[in-house]
Amino acid sequence: MIWGVLQFPGSCDERDALHACEVVGGEARLIWHEERDLGGVDAVVVPGGFSYGDYLRAGAIARFSPAMEAVAAHAAAGGPVLGICNGFQVLCEAGLLPGALLRNADLRFVCRQADLLVVDGPKTGLSDGFSAHQRLSIPVKHGEGRYYAPEEMLDALEARGQVAYRYAEGHNPNGSVRDIAGVRNEAGNVVGLMPHPEHAVDPLTGSTDGRAVFKALERAAA
Protein backbone atom coordinates (compact mmCIF):
# COMPACT_ATOMS: atom_id res chain seq x y z
CA MET A 1 0.00 0.00 0.00
CA ILE A 2 1.46 3.36 -1.05
CA TRP A 3 -0.21 6.50 0.29
CA GLY A 4 0.24 9.94 -1.22
CA VAL A 5 -0.31 13.01 0.96
CA LEU A 6 -0.50 16.38 -0.78
CA GLN A 7 1.40 19.37 0.56
CA PHE A 8 0.42 22.94 -0.28
CA PRO A 9 1.97 26.20 0.91
CA GLY A 10 0.10 26.67 4.17
CA SER A 11 -0.64 23.00 4.87
CA CYS A 12 -0.12 22.20 8.55
CA ASP A 13 -1.43 18.65 8.98
CA GLU A 14 0.36 16.77 6.23
CA ARG A 15 2.90 15.27 8.67
CA ASP A 16 0.14 13.99 10.94
CA ALA A 17 -1.61 12.54 7.90
CA LEU A 18 1.61 10.79 6.87
CA HIS A 19 1.90 9.35 10.38
CA ALA A 20 -1.72 8.15 10.34
CA CYS A 21 -1.17 6.40 7.02
CA GLU A 22 1.93 4.67 8.36
CA VAL A 23 0.10 3.62 11.54
CA VAL A 24 -2.53 1.90 9.41
CA GLY A 25 0.21 0.31 7.32
CA GLY A 26 2.25 0.86 4.19
CA GLU A 27 4.50 3.54 2.76
CA ALA A 28 3.45 7.20 2.85
CA ARG A 29 4.87 9.90 0.56
CA LEU A 30 4.55 13.66 0.47
CA ILE A 31 3.46 15.07 -2.89
CA TRP A 32 4.35 18.73 -3.45
CA HIS A 33 1.53 20.82 -4.94
CA GLU A 34 3.51 21.54 -8.12
CA GLU A 35 3.86 17.85 -9.02
CA ARG A 36 1.79 16.66 -11.96
CA ASP A 37 2.53 12.97 -11.34
CA LEU A 38 1.33 11.18 -8.21
CA GLY A 39 4.03 8.55 -8.63
CA GLY A 40 1.75 5.54 -8.73
CA VAL A 41 0.25 5.91 -5.26
CA ASP A 42 -2.72 3.73 -4.35
CA ALA A 43 -4.65 6.33 -2.33
CA VAL A 44 -4.50 10.11 -1.95
CA VAL A 45 -5.02 12.21 1.17
CA VAL A 46 -5.63 15.95 0.78
CA PRO A 47 -4.74 17.20 4.28
CA GLY A 48 -5.89 19.99 6.54
CA GLY A 49 -4.30 23.37 7.07
CA PHE A 50 -4.60 26.76 5.43
CA SER A 51 -3.55 26.21 1.83
CA TYR A 52 -2.33 29.47 0.28
CA GLY A 53 -3.31 31.21 3.50
CA ASP A 54 -7.02 30.70 2.74
CA TYR A 55 -6.84 33.78 0.51
CA LEU A 56 -10.03 34.48 -1.46
CA ARG A 57 -11.67 31.63 0.46
CA ALA A 58 -10.55 28.29 1.84
CA GLY A 59 -9.40 25.94 -0.92
CA ALA A 60 -10.11 28.37 -3.76
CA ILE A 61 -6.48 28.69 -4.90
CA ALA A 62 -5.26 25.18 -4.03
CA ARG A 63 -7.83 23.67 -6.39
CA PHE A 64 -5.77 25.09 -9.31
CA SER A 65 -2.54 23.38 -8.21
CA PRO A 66 -1.01 21.01 -10.78
CA ALA A 67 -1.22 18.18 -8.26
CA MET A 68 -4.99 18.58 -8.12
CA GLU A 69 -5.21 17.82 -11.84
CA ALA A 70 -3.48 14.52 -11.07
CA VAL A 71 -5.83 13.92 -8.13
CA ALA A 72 -8.85 14.51 -10.39
CA ALA A 73 -7.48 11.96 -12.88
CA HIS A 74 -6.81 9.49 -10.05
CA ALA A 75 -10.39 9.91 -8.81
CA ALA A 76 -11.85 9.59 -12.31
CA ALA A 77 -10.03 6.26 -12.66
CA GLY A 78 -11.68 5.05 -9.44
CA GLY A 79 -8.76 5.70 -7.11
CA PRO A 80 -9.66 6.51 -3.48
CA VAL A 81 -9.26 10.10 -2.28
CA LEU A 82 -9.77 11.44 1.25
CA GLY A 83 -10.03 15.18 1.93
CA ILE A 84 -9.67 16.33 5.53
CA CYS A 85 -10.84 19.78 6.69
CA ASN A 86 -9.04 22.14 4.29
CA GLY A 87 -8.70 19.12 1.99
CA PHE A 88 -12.50 18.78 2.05
CA GLN A 89 -12.74 22.46 1.11
CA VAL A 90 -10.27 21.95 -1.75
CA LEU A 91 -12.21 18.95 -3.11
CA CYS A 92 -15.46 20.94 -3.05
CA GLU A 93 -13.80 23.89 -4.82
CA ALA A 94 -12.39 21.49 -7.42
CA GLY A 95 -15.84 20.04 -8.11
CA LEU A 96 -14.82 16.57 -6.94
CA LEU A 97 -17.37 16.77 -4.13
CA PRO A 98 -20.75 18.56 -4.00
CA GLY A 99 -21.63 21.54 -1.82
CA ALA A 100 -19.52 24.19 -0.11
CA LEU A 101 -17.98 24.97 3.27
CA LEU A 102 -18.96 28.34 4.78
CA ARG A 103 -17.87 30.30 7.84
CA ASN A 104 -18.98 28.70 11.11
CA ALA A 105 -22.42 29.87 12.21
CA ASP A 106 -21.01 31.78 15.22
CA LEU A 107 -18.12 33.18 13.10
CA ARG A 108 -15.60 31.72 15.56
CA PHE A 109 -12.84 29.17 15.14
CA VAL A 110 -13.76 25.91 16.89
CA CYS A 111 -11.35 23.31 18.30
CA ARG A 112 -12.76 20.41 20.30
CA GLN A 113 -13.62 16.73 20.26
CA ALA A 114 -16.78 15.78 18.35
CA ASP A 115 -18.78 12.60 17.91
CA LEU A 116 -19.62 11.50 14.37
CA LEU A 117 -22.02 8.92 13.02
CA VAL A 118 -20.99 6.93 9.96
CA VAL A 119 -23.76 7.01 7.34
CA ASP A 120 -24.21 3.88 5.26
CA GLY A 121 -23.28 4.31 1.62
CA PRO A 122 -21.99 2.52 -1.49
CA LYS A 123 -20.16 -0.61 -0.34
CA THR A 124 -17.75 -0.28 -3.24
CA GLY A 125 -16.50 2.99 -1.75
CA LEU A 126 -14.93 4.44 1.36
CA SER A 127 -17.74 3.43 3.72
CA ASP A 128 -17.03 -0.27 3.31
CA GLY A 129 -16.19 -1.95 6.60
CA PHE A 130 -18.13 0.42 8.86
CA SER A 131 -21.17 -0.75 10.76
CA ALA A 132 -24.38 1.24 10.23
CA HIS A 133 -24.43 4.37 12.40
CA GLN A 134 -21.00 3.55 13.86
CA ARG A 135 -19.97 6.32 16.28
CA LEU A 136 -16.51 7.89 16.05
CA SER A 137 -14.87 10.38 18.42
CA ILE A 138 -12.67 12.68 16.33
CA PRO A 139 -11.44 16.26 16.93
CA VAL A 140 -12.50 19.28 14.87
CA LYS A 141 -10.55 22.51 14.32
CA HIS A 142 -11.80 24.94 11.74
CA GLY A 143 -13.29 28.35 11.09
CA GLU A 144 -15.00 27.56 7.78
CA GLY A 145 -16.57 24.17 8.35
CA ARG A 146 -20.27 24.80 7.94
CA TYR A 147 -21.42 22.47 5.19
CA TYR A 148 -23.99 23.99 2.85
CA ALA A 149 -25.90 22.94 -0.23
CA PRO A 150 -29.31 23.99 -1.61
CA GLU A 151 -32.27 21.97 -0.36
CA GLU A 152 -32.82 20.23 -3.68
CA MET A 153 -29.16 19.18 -3.79
CA LEU A 154 -29.33 17.96 -0.18
CA ASP A 155 -32.37 15.85 -1.00
CA ALA A 156 -30.51 14.36 -3.98
CA LEU A 157 -27.42 13.65 -1.86
CA GLU A 158 -29.55 11.89 0.74
CA ALA A 159 -31.34 9.85 -1.92
CA ARG A 160 -28.07 8.76 -3.54
CA GLY A 161 -26.39 7.90 -0.25
CA GLN A 162 -23.75 10.61 -0.58
CA VAL A 163 -23.82 11.80 3.04
CA ALA A 164 -20.83 10.01 4.56
CA TYR A 165 -20.74 11.37 8.15
CA ARG A 166 -23.06 13.33 10.41
CA TYR A 167 -22.36 15.02 13.70
CA ALA A 168 -24.07 13.16 16.52
CA GLU A 169 -26.88 14.98 18.30
CA GLY A 170 -25.48 17.92 20.25
CA HIS A 171 -22.07 17.71 18.54
CA ASN A 172 -22.57 19.94 15.48
CA PRO A 173 -19.84 22.57 16.06
CA ASN A 174 -20.44 24.86 13.10
CA GLY A 175 -24.11 24.87 12.05
CA SER A 176 -23.72 22.49 9.11
CA VAL A 177 -27.03 21.77 7.39
CA ARG A 178 -28.59 18.45 8.40
CA ASP A 179 -25.61 17.90 10.75
CA ILE A 180 -23.49 16.87 7.75
CA ALA A 181 -19.82 16.37 8.67
CA GLY A 182 -18.70 14.70 5.45
CA VAL A 183 -19.89 13.70 1.99
CA ARG A 184 -18.85 11.33 -0.80
CA ASN A 185 -19.06 11.51 -4.57
CA GLU A 186 -21.59 9.40 -6.48
CA ALA A 187 -19.06 6.64 -7.16
CA GLY A 188 -18.14 6.51 -3.47
CA ASN A 189 -14.37 6.69 -4.00
CA VAL A 190 -13.92 10.36 -3.01
CA VAL A 191 -14.80 11.40 0.55
CA GLY A 192 -14.33 14.65 2.44
CA LEU A 193 -14.91 15.39 6.11
CA MET A 194 -14.26 18.37 8.38
CA PRO A 195 -13.11 16.48 11.51
CA HIS A 196 -9.47 15.34 11.66
CA PRO A 197 -9.12 11.53 11.77
CA GLU A 198 -5.31 11.86 11.58
CA HIS A 199 -5.43 13.36 15.07
CA ALA A 200 -7.26 10.31 16.41
CA VAL A 201 -4.90 7.40 15.70
CA ASP A 202 -2.95 7.23 18.99
CA PRO A 203 -4.31 6.39 22.46
CA LEU A 204 -2.25 9.28 23.87
CA THR A 205 -4.58 11.74 22.09
CA GLY A 206 -7.67 10.18 23.67
CA SER A 207 -9.11 8.30 20.70
CA THR A 208 -8.00 5.90 17.99
CA ASP A 209 -11.31 6.10 16.09
CA GLY A 210 -9.64 7.95 13.22
CA ARG A 211 -7.84 4.78 12.22
CA ALA A 212 -11.14 3.41 10.90
CA VAL A 213 -11.33 6.23 8.35
CA PHE A 214 -7.87 5.42 6.99
CA LYS A 215 -8.60 1.69 7.11
CA ALA A 216 -11.60 2.32 4.85
CA LEU A 217 -9.29 4.12 2.40
CA GLU A 218 -6.89 1.17 2.52
CA ARG A 219 -9.70 -1.30 1.79
CA ALA A 220 -10.91 0.83 -1.12
CA ALA A 221 -7.41 0.88 -2.62
CA ALA A 222 -7.13 -2.88 -2.27
Q: What is the pLDDT of residue 109?
A: 96
Closest CA to 215 of 110, 96, 118: 118
Question: How confident is the model over 183-214, as pLDDT tens digits?
Answer: 999 999 999 999 999 999 999 989 999 999 99
- Please, are residues 182 and 168 in contact by the beta-carbon 8 Å criterion? no
Edge-to-edge order in the sheet of strand 180-184: 27-32, 2-7, 43-46, 81-84, 190-193, 180-184, 163-167, 110-118, 135-142
pLDDT (average), residues 138-147: 97
Q: What is the pLDDT of residue 85?
A: 97
- The domain 2-221 having CATH identifier 3.40.50.880: the answer here is yes
Quote the pTM value.
0.94
Out of 74, 85, 199, 218, pick the active-site residue. Answer: 85
Greater confidence (174 vs 134) lies with 174
Q: What is the pLDDT of residue 125?
A: 56
Task: Return phi, psi of residue 20, to 5°.
Answer: -60, -40
Q: Could you tell me the sign of the dihedral formed by the alpha carbons of 158, 161, 163, 169, in that order? A: positive
Closest CA to 45 of 213, 202, 174, 219: 213
pLDDT (average), residues 87-96: 97
Q: What is the pLDDT of residue 129?
A: 64
Q: What is the pLDDT of residue 126?
A: 63
pLDDT (average), residues 173-180: 98
Reported confidence tier of residue 220, pLDDT bands at 50, 70, 90: confident
d(CA 213, CA 130): 9
Over the chain, what is the mean pLDDT? 93
Reported confidence tier of residue 128, pLDDT bands at 50, 70, 90: low
Task: Tally Cβ neighbours within 10 Å of residue 55.
Answer: 11
pLDDT (average), residues 33-40: 95
CA 152 → CA 48, 104, 138, 149, 156, distances in Å? 29, 22, 29, 8, 6
Q: How far is CA 13 from the centre of its chain?
A: 12
Out of 14, 93, 144, 198, pick the active-site residue. Answer: 198
Question: How confident is the model over 151-163, as pLDDT tens digits?
Answer: 999 999 999 999 9
Can 74 be counted among the known catalytic residues? no
Rounding to the nearest 10 degrees, give the CA dihedral for residues 146, 196, 142, 32: -110
Can 85 be counted among the known catalytic residues? yes
Out of 74, 142, 171, 196, pick the active-site residue. Answer: 196
Can 198 be counted among the known catalytic residues? yes
d(CA 71, CA 89): 14
> Residue 83: is its pLDDT beyond 70?
yes
Q: Hey, where are the domains in the chain? A: 2-221
> Residue 133: is its pLDDT beyond 60?
yes
Greater confidence (42 vs 218) lies with 42
